[in-house]
A = this chain, B = another copy of it.
Amino acid sequence: MPHEQIEASAGPAAASPWDDVAVRLRAGGLRWTPQRRTLIEVLREHEGHVTASELIARCKELDGTTTPSTVYRALDLLEELGLVKHGHGHDGREEYHILPQQVHGHLYCVGCGSTWEIRPETAAVIVDALASQLGFAVDLSHVTISGLCAGCHD
């Protein structure tokens, strides 16, 4: 095998947290299967949140043999590894929050269903308000605000 460069001991090495999933799985006596590989591929394509249904559909698209139960089980596993966190979206379906790379929040319009990201500076205002007035330490990475967007609001 060819010599490899020595890993940088400092710096933003891990471009994506998905890169070492295989290693982490095996480290726990678990396996790196084609189905799980596919799921990770799909998760790489997303940001923020995805519904289980979307993931299942996309996996089946890429693989064809993947079944819902496998996806659900794999997601449970990934959640245990702390790579995703499940919750429920506004449509009532399982929704997975992909580990947030950066601090931000989401704005959801209950009128049209659209979602926007809240810019950091705006989010800061909200967090400050909640922290100073209610003593509530908000985890910025999971802030979701639902309301009506300008278009749906009179």
Contacts and interface: CB of A to CB of B under 8 A. Distances in A.
Interface of A: 85, 87-94, 107, 110, 116, 118-119, 121-122, 125-126, 129-130, 133-140, 142-150, 153
How many copies of this kind of chain does the complex include? 2
B130 A129 contact: no
Nearest to A146: B144
Contacts of A116: 134, 136
A69 B110 CA distance: 25
Q: Is the interface of A mostly helix, strand, loop or mixed?
A: mixed
A62 to B, nearest CB: 26
A89 B88 contact: yes
Closest 7 CB pairs of A and B: A138-B147, A88-B92, A125-B129, A137-B153, A139-B148, A122-B133, A139-B147
